[in-house]
Structure 1
Amino acid sequence: MAIKEFKLPDVGEGVAEGELVTWLVEPGDRVEEDQPVAEVETDKALVEVPSRYDGVVEELFAEEGEIVPVGNVIISFRVDEDDEAPESAADTDDGPAEPSEAEVDDTDVADDTDAADDADAVAPGGRTFAPPSVRRLARELGVDLAAVDGSGPGGRVGESDVRAYADEETDSADDEADDAPTPKPIDIGSEDRGSAVTKRGGGDDSDAAAGGASAGATATEPAGRDRTLAAPATRKLAREFGVEVDDVPTDRTREGEPFVDEAAVRAYAEADASSAPPTDVTGAAEATDAAEAACTAGATAADPEGTVIDRIPYRGVRRTIGKRMEQSKFTAPHVTHHDTAEVDALVDARAELKPKAEAAGVKLTYMPFVMKAVVAGLKAYPQLNSELREEDEEILIKGEYNLGIAVATDAGLMVPVVRDVDTKGLFELADEVNDLAARAREREITPAEMKGGTFTLTNFGAIGGEYATPIINYPETAILGLGAIEERPVVRSHADVDGGFLDEADGSTVVPAPTLPLSLSIDHRVVDGAEAAAFANTVQDHLENPLLLLTE
């Protein structure tokens, strides 16, 4: 057998990194070639990463939630020599890989399941097997995984094993603390806390001994460290005492790092409090007044995160949306043109076609009608179907009509593209839009299906909006926002309607009618205001007179 490492491949065009969202396997699982082993979220989509080997999962090198650069090793497999897949560019930087140092002799490895289970517990070199989440928990609790007895198959270490071991260590540390001599104050005279820290951690022998005694142990690790391992409960206690964990002396280590427990924090805090210089009454009163004033004003300087109820990682699709919105808003000078279309005839046309669409298995919304109307506007005013190439100092007028449809998903806004809208009928467009939107919400859309757009539509009216100032999907030069189709007051000629509020002066009447609010944002470097208004008028004409759509 041999150990084969697998690197994160380029799961999308030009993707440099991805967030490992979910592991679909764990060490000891047998996998087949092309079987998905992980879900990775890039700045464009959520994709599954398939195995290149038939074999057994040896080790996972990344944790769920970790950002992994393309080309980094994420998983390794135990592979039979006869089953090895040929090396490819995804697995090596400079051609065929050298034989792995991790290759092992399979002469003593049985082919039955029991032998495979026994091999799951420890990797070559005696390293303990545990999922990434368990390794992360061990680091947080300051537990050495090599010392933990696993209760899983083949001795695999689980979270319960790590927590049980940490509890035993804590109980043992508490017993030691109970038997330790009572901490004595350190006489540091008028020196400030900074000096006390220096003496505790790195002064002469007598000072170091005094500092160690105050903490209940001789500190061999200097105070003011860059990194200290401690359990979450210990860190919470340190915050309550106003103590920096990195300043607490300790001679204990975990995985080669200094380790501090609650007993050491308490001893350090008590010694520090007893050595603090007395405060005069006036100063105490002023400090009390200042503290009360801060509380009255709602200050949270002592606990700046006291009101935080959740932490959401800013990465993946959300980070990409943010970067693109920032790029668009601060690159293209936005101007938004608002207008309203009176869509009585459009509502009637959709109602008449809806049964035929249902018979064809298609859900007919208003979006296909709007898409056709937009194409009519783009043909009349092609400047809105363009891209500004600043480096080349030219404006590219596009000859195809590929419309992006913004879709709200749990991960943020995604914009799948419907291509060649000018060549497709209403039912065909409706079916394609519904399919793309459904797959976008399920995170099954591919990066290729979100590229190549020339103009974008966003339907905020679906959740009750009316007008907005949509941000252009850069490098496009325009985006059209659609409000909710609702009955609103409109002015009509009295001869055209029955009822309503008659204006005797001009014979007009105010009546309720279905209207569609439009919000058109343009890149003012490319599109002038008059051109934007003319485009909006063309779109309105085709929405108010749906028979015109038959010409598109």
Structure 2
Amino acid sequence: MVREFELPDVGEGVAEGELVSWLVEPGDEVTEDQPVAEVETDKALVEVPAPVDGTVRELHVEAGEVVPVGTVIISFDVEGEAPRASENANDDAVSEGATEQPESEQASTSEPAGDPGATGADAEDAAPPDDRVFAPPRVRRMARERGIDLSSVRGSGPGGRITADDVRAAAGGESAGETAGSQSQSAGATAGEAASETADSTATGTTGETATESAATATADSSARRHETPGQVESADRDKTLAAPATRRIAQEEGVDIDAIPTDEERDGEAFVTPEAVREYAAAQRQAQEADREAVEAGEPVGTTGADFAEGERERREPFTGVRKTIADAMVESKYSAPHVTHHDEVDVTELVAAREDLKPRAEERGIRLTYMPFIMKAVIAALHEYPEMNAVIDEASEEIVYRDYYNIGVATATDVGLMVPVIEDADRKGLLQLSSEMNEVVQKARDRTISPSELQGSTFTITNIGGIGGEYATPIINYPEAGILAIGEIKRKPRVVTDEDGTESIEPRSVMTLSLSFDHRLIDGAVGAQFTNTVMEYLENPHLLLLE
């Protein structure tokens, strides 16, 4: 019997994923829980296991294709398993040579010619199932804090994902598309709307221009763009585009961004792209590039903006998606939500360096690589005990300060796809070796892209080590909604004035480390930030005090 397998929900709030690679081929024998594919989400790279014992019948998705959760990606031949009712229904529909479309789609527009086999469900592939709510953890937390039922909120993000602005709009009694002051992009915008503009942005280049005027200008520009000659076609630059999987495959083969293809067609209020539009746009791009190459050969000046460069010439473009886009969104939200202040200082860690050197061989005997980070974690936790404001968070909906009596320390980690923050839970209850072992494990998993979304959530304070790449001072951005983040600089040998027990002063070379503490000035005063840093310094200067923690 044939068993179809859909892309599962590989993590909370994940609406879609890119199928990076197949680990099996048609005809391969597989066992239950055997990894069959690698899928990259905006949080991590995960392996998708087979749900049954059987033989791979067909791979329905090409490597590199982005598919929503719930899309059939692979079929298995399974011995002795009766076909499911849905499979029987699908087989009957195929045998009759016809597929039914929902009434809403029949009323909108017919299936585009040249795309056989595409159903109404294919056209709406970016929309989530009715009974599934897609929202990142911080958005879910915001909704809980504001008493918003996410099932009643219409998501404006990719794949119907609910964004923070959707929740804010719901709290204010407006839909995301009606919120003129929203700082996020409206994914429900058509090709003619200014999807990337916000009411308080000056990025339009026109000082004092209102959001309404910007949208009107963008609409006019888009209308004019649709009547340009093929060589002058520009990017539509939408956040969300509906298209059948076969259409998306054509766009991928042609090497064009489907969100950049101009279109007048809509499905349920969203921009809809047909195969013909993809081919026309790709042909126009090739024509423009060929014209530029001919002009260059003839010695004529050629404009060097937009997408006019041929591949490999002076510019290289990559999709701004996945983890990199998630990091960018988080950074913007943090900077616009929390007024940042950064306090800098230096600490003499000569005794800490000596203590680590003494303990390192003992840790190695247990198979653990002991770094300075566990010592710094213990010092930070001790300071958090004394200054609970640094471990707090502001509940903006109820206008309350939430003091957290648990200590989950995030460790900012550089990976080949951007910055990730693995979390060590209940760090205050663990010793140096256990902290070191767990930290090494999650950091390596983050760099290998095998870390689970749950291991990247729930931190109450974050530490980032800029010294690993030779830095001293920084102005780190808070891992919002946390109240603070501490950047650790490189340990360097520097001359320092040292006072002996008898009061005699002398200049000696000492090991010195820099500290850069960024904090939310709404919650933390400058004096508290400085006192917190001084407490961290006290424990790092005298590591034997950590034995008391």
Q: Is 1:25 the equivalent of 2:29?
A: no
Residue 7 of structure 1 is matched in structure 2 by 6
User: Structure 1: which 5+ runs fail to align?
Assistant: 88-95, 105-122, 127-141, 145-193, 198-224, 244-268, 270-286, 498-505
Q: Give, in whole Å, the separation in 2 of the partners of 1:231 and 1:102.
A: 36
Q: Give, in whole Å, the separation in 2 of the partners of 1:437 and 1:539.
A: 23
Q: Is 1:368 the equivalent of 2:374?
A: yes
RMSD, aligned CA: 3.7
Whether the 8 Å CA contact 2:288–2:308 is kept in 1: the answer is no
Q: Is 1:538 the equivalent of 2:527?
A: no
Q: TM-score, normalised by structure 2?
A: 0.61
How many residue pairs end up in the alignment?
A: 375
For 2:514, which of 517, 521, 526 is the aligned residue? 517
Corresponding letter in the other structure for 1:353: L
Corresponding letter in the other structure for 1:38: A
Distance change (3 Å), C-alpha of 1:196 and 1:428: closer
Q: Give, in whole Å, the separation in 2 of the partners of 1:196 and 1:424.
A: 66
Query: 1:33: Cα distance to partner?
Result: 2.6
Q: Give, in whole Å, the separation in 2 of the partners of 1:541 and 1:228.
A: 63
Distance change (3 Å), C-alpha of 1:72 and 1:351: same
Query: 1:195: Cα distance to partner?
Result: 13
Per-residue CA distance 1:447-505 (angstroms, 9 max, x = gap):
12222211111011011110001111111111100001111232333x579xxxxxxxx
Corresponding letter in the other structure for 2:548: T
Q: Give, in whole Å, the separation in 2 of the partners of 1:301 and 1:462.
A: 37
Q: Give, in whole Å, the separation in 2 of the partners of 1:316 and 1:463.
A: 25
Residue 290 of structure 2 is matched in structure 1 by 240
Residue 408 of structure 2 is matched in structure 1 by 402
Matches within 5 A, 1:37-436: 37-80=36-79, 82-84=80-82, 97=86, 99-102=88-91, 227=277, 229=279, 236=286, 239-241=289-291, 300-301=304-305, 304-305=308-309, 307-436=313-442
Q: Give, in whole Å, the separation in 2 of the partners of 1:6 and 1:450.
A: 27
User: Structure 2: which 5+ runs fail to align?
Assistant: 98-113, 117-226, 231-274
Query: 1:103: Cα distance to partner?
Result: 7.3
Whether the 8 Å CA contact 1:344–1:515 is kept in 2: the answer is yes
Deviates more, 1:330-339 or 1:58-67: 58-67
For 1:460, which of 441, 466, 469 is the aligned residue? 466
Q: Is 1:470 the equivalent of 2:467?
A: no
Q: TM-score, normalised by structure 1?
A: 0.61
Query: 1:84: Cα distance to partner?
Result: 4.9
Distance change (3 Å), C-alpha of 1:478 and 1:196: closer
Corresponding letter in the other structure for 2:81: D
Describe the SS at the equivalent of 1:406: strand
Per-residue CA distance 1:73-122 (angstroms, 9 max, x = gap):
22223334x2359x7xxxxxxxx746243379xxxxxxxxxxxxxxxxxx
Deviates more, 1:23-32 or 1:465-474: 23-32
Corresponding letter in the other structure for 2:526: G
Distance change (3 Å), C-alpha of 1:320 and 1:488: same
Corresponding letter in the other structure for 1:99: N
Distance change (3 Å), C-alpha of 1:238 and 1:26: farther
Residue 118 of structure 1 is matched in structure 2 by none
Distance change (3 Å), C-alpha of 1:102 and 1:425: same
Query: 1:31: Cα distance to partner?
Result: 2.8
Corresponding letter in the other structure for 2:357: A
Q: Percent identity?
A: 52
Query: 1:53: Cα distance to partner?
Result: 3.0
Corresponding letter in the other structure for 2:277: R
Describe the SS at the equivalent of 1:319: helix
Describe the SS at the equivalent of 2:304: coil
Higher radius of gyration, 1 or 2: 1
Deviates more, 1:421-430 or 1:302-311: 302-311
Q: Give, in whole Å, the separation in 2 of the partners of 1:544 and 1:484.
A: 15
Whether the 8 Å CA contact 1:492–1:509 is kept in 2: the answer is yes
Q: Give, in whole Å, the separation in 1 of the partners of 2:31 and 2:82.
A: 11
Q: Give, in whole Å, the separation in 2 of the partners of 1:302 and 1:428.
A: 52
Corresponding letter in the other structure for 2:473: Y
Residue 273 of structure 1 is matched in structure 2 by none
Deviates more, 1:520-529 or 1:27-36: 27-36
